[in-house]
Chain A
Amino acid sequence: MTSMLRHRLFWPAAVLVVLLASNLVFSNNFFTITLQDGHLYGSLIDILRRSAPLVLVALGMTLVIATGGIDLSVGSVMAISGALACLLIGDLSNPDAVGPVLLVVGAAIALCLVFGLWNGFLVAVLGIQPIIATLILMVAGRGVAQLITDGQILNVHSAPYRVIGAGYFLAVPVSFLIAAAAVGLTVALTRRTALGLLLESVGGSPTASRLAGIRSRRITIMVYVFAAAFAGVAGLIYSSDVSSADSNAAGNLIELNAILAVVLGGTALTGGRFSIAGSVLGAVIITTLDITAVSVGVPVETTLLFKAVVVIILCLAQSATFRAKVFGRFGTKRAEVPA
């Protein structure tokens, strides 16, 4: 029992269960999943579908944070990728042909890769602090997106494009499948290779890592490229879901939600050890919170407050010091003085 309590993901998982259960009280068909027109429907499916962009962004954020960095530009990158995709699709002679739409999607992601390289270059080569380096793109990126869309909201009508964010494959939402594939890819990339270890090492101690012969510069650039690529995909999902590009709304404040998801999942902002499962869980919790707030009828103006309260509870539950004060002693360590 205590070993379960100690597990890193215990408290986030518990909060998620409580949130889901409290939904049941307010709408008793909350857990019902039905099959209509070959699509799965239900609140749970909805949560999965709506979590997808945040999961993607949180994945990239996890890797960046593991190296001791942070990426504030993900929201802007989302806006850029959606904007470029919609602009290019608008120019297509036949927006319902699959091939050209795929090319457009490729182009949008490629542009995001370039922005990721830019972030990585600023941080790893020029040595600018990550929060400042990515702040540049966070601010400028929205501008770029607005430039692309000419300050308008670009509406598109393209059946293949709409599949990304709103379609179904074998009754399952495509956006969920994309997010799941991204999670699988990230896990394979970090845990099947030595990348995860090297990331944690760089985040744990950059100096020691350099002296151990790790190419920390290259690794740092890689994670920013990764984060931008995933943000780009998230941007496509978002814009496809609403069939338009809205440079102001797309990915607005998502960087903060993603950071929150990472922290809720047990990865420390100081870098080092990271947990992909934790971040995914964190992202799902945050989405569930949003949905719960609506379904239990929290008035719109207090939604944010409601969200904040739940997050505070979770953070307190995760803090060993707080638990020790309230429930007696779980943790043994108090002050941080190294061995």
Chain B
Amino acid sequence: MAEQLKMTGIKKIFPGVVALDDVDFRLLPGEIHALMGENGAGKSTLIKVLTGVYDIDGGEIELAGERVRFTGPLQAQQAGISTVYQEVNLCPNLSVAENIFIGREPRKFGRIQWSETRKRAQASLARLDLDIDVTAQLDSYSLAIQQMVAIARATDVGTTKVLILDEPTSSLDASEVEQLFTIMRRLKADGVAILFVSHFLDQVYEIADRMTVLRNGRLIGEYRTDELPQMQLVSKMIGKELEALEQIEEHAKDTTAVERGTPIVEARELGRDGAIAPFSLTIHAGEVVGLAGLLGSGRTELARLLFGADRPDRGELLIDGKPHTVKAPRDAMAEGIAFSSENRRTEGIIGELTVRENMILAMQAARGWTRPIPRRKQDELVEQYIKALQIRPADPERLVRDLSGGNQQKVLLARWLITEPRLLIIDEPTRGIDVGAKAEIQRLVAQLADGGMAVLFVSAELEEVLRLSHKIEVLRDRRLVEELENGADVDADRIMQTIASGATT
């Protein structure tokens, strides 16, 4: 079959990094093709080179047999390539409908037909099984919904010949992923060539026909999914055998009960209108508390209240058994609470600062501007965490925005670990992180809890929550519906059941 898209000998050099070195890639019509590789392997760069976000330093691109070279994403889109980039890049202050149709609004006599726009936006979201107010501003919705909107925008174009999805499922729950896959299969049947990037191996094996593996900017090979077992895939990605990963599996479910004295944090009927119904919750030292629930169930909202990122409007928060008003993140930080947001691009990293500066930021903020952290201390801390979290490139003076998505996530995590908190609230800490590093981070969380740190662990991935938590709080419709002690009798089915039935305590 003739390739829909063919890239040969692609080369891309950034100052100090060869991001892509002589990479070949091809995409057939009517296939779903996974692009695999560790954090920083060059997946997103390949996509950006293809769609004209970056110039190419060498190599050729053919689209349906014709040589092309795009000067920007818009041009690529006009040529039939629809792309969802790794970081949602829509306009947060426009409405959902405007975001879906920006640049191609339905017009009549040159005037935008707003009611038509809204209707069609509603319809394209309905295909993803999403029923939201399309006139509301985009940033009033959670990251997962924003991701769905970006997907709706990309899949709505009728003329698409190539669809590119760079980690579209990173903050989605199982059911949204299923909706997305349904759409992908339909488009595939229509002959669209789909490029899919994900660090979730299960998803890749479920949906992809073939895959291309990159490592360190080099092409490792192209394989049929049914001919390459998972274990082999992983060793191709990381370039060595997989002992480290297996160890983690052994560690699994070592969630023996912790001693519970006075809780570090206790919420009593704490709530905020429109965000989360009043809930009660305790978190003890050395305890990992997992939050489980579907998209929009209020996981993030709950976490934000404990950190003072949003203000509660009812209820009480006790820290070490004493009532406390946490009005702002600073107050929570003063009590040793840390919060790493799920939305790393707008609420996490500061792109134009360096890796070092991003990492020490929270610690520096806590000390105040008059007491700078001595440079030697900074370098020590930063080096320690670059090593511990395997951040690549291991260059503290590189700008964070030039790091790959997964590595940015690690920098954000390091920022909070450096503050040595008593309670670490992490919202989707493994979002966009590759299999190896994910295992590493999970191990780190378990280890920190062993060392006495309390962790509130929020993740859309149920397996991860189950593996790490001592106690699981199940949320549904912005309400805490059940608390489960993790044990042999608790599994994903049990939790899904609770979510489905909406049991109340």
How many Å lie between the Cα of A70 and that of B284 in the bound state? 46
How many Å lie between the Cα of A193 and that of B368 in the bound state? 9
Of the listed residues A192, A197, A219, the one surrounded by the most CB atoms of chain B closer than 10 A to its CB is A197
Which single member of B89, B339, B369 contacts A195 (CB below 8 Å)? B369
Which single member of B346, B370, B372, B404 contacts A207 (CB below 8 Å)? B346
How many Å lie between the Cα of A335 and that of B89 in the bound state? 13
Q: Which residue of B lies closest to A204 (CB)?
A: B350
- Tell me whether A200 and B353 are in contact (CB under 8 A): yes
How many Å lie between the Cα of A271 and that of B364 in the bound state? 20
B361 neighbours in A (Cβ, 8 Å) = 197, 201, 209, 212, 214
- Tell me whether B54 and A332 are in contact (CB under 8 A): yes
In this assembly, does A215 line the interface, its C-beta being within 8 Å of a C-beta of chain B? Answer: yes
Q: Which residue of A lies closest to B370 (CB)?
A: A193
How many Å lie between the Cα of A210 and that of B404 in the bound state? 24
Cβ contacts A219-260/B at 8 Å (1 or 0 each): 100000000000000000000000000000000000000000
- Tell me whether B309 and A211 are in contact (CB under 8 A): yes
In this assembly, does A104 line the interface, its C-beta being within 8 Å of a C-beta of chain B? Answer: no
- Tell me whether B401 and A335 are in contact (CB under 8 A): no
Shortest beta-carbon distance from A282 to chain B in Å:
20
- Tell me whether A339 and B87 are in contact (CB under 8 A): yes
- Tell me whether B329 and A194 are in contact (CB under 8 A): no
Q: Which residue of A lies closest to B12 (CB)?
A: A332
Cβ contacts B365-401/A at 8 Å (1 or 0 each): 1111111110000000000000000000000000001
Cβ contacts B22-45/A at 8 Å (1 or 0 each): 000000000000000000000010
Which single member of B72, B89, B369 contacts A219 (CB below 8 Å)? B369
Shortest beta-carbon distance from A205 to chain B in Å:
5
Which single member of A207, A332, A338 contacts B351 (CB below 8 Å)? A338
How many Å lie between the Cα of A215 and that of B352 in the bound state? 19
How many Å lie between the Cα of A208 and that of B401 in the bound state? 14
Shortest beta-carbon distance from A89 to chain B in Å:
36
* Residues in A314-339 with C-beta less than 8 Å from chain B: 329, 332-335, 337-339
- Tell me whether B415 and A194 are in contact (CB under 8 A): no
Q: Which residue of B lies closest to A217 (CB)?
A: B328
A193 neighbours in B (Cβ, 8 Å) = 369-372
In this assembly, does B117 line the interface, its C-beta being within 8 Å of a C-beta of chain A? Answer: no
Chain B residues with CB under 8 Å of chain A are 13-15, 44, 48, 52-55, 57, 71-73, 85-87, 89, 307, 309, 328-330, 333, 339, 341, 345-353, 357, 361-362, 364-373, 401-405, 408, 415
Chain A residues with CB under 8 Å of chain B are 192-195, 197-198, 200-201, 204-205, 207-215, 219, 272-273, 329, 332-335, 337-339
Given A213-B362, A335-B72, 4 other A-B residues pairs in contact with their CB atoms under 8 A: A197-B364, A201-B357, A338-B87, A339-B86
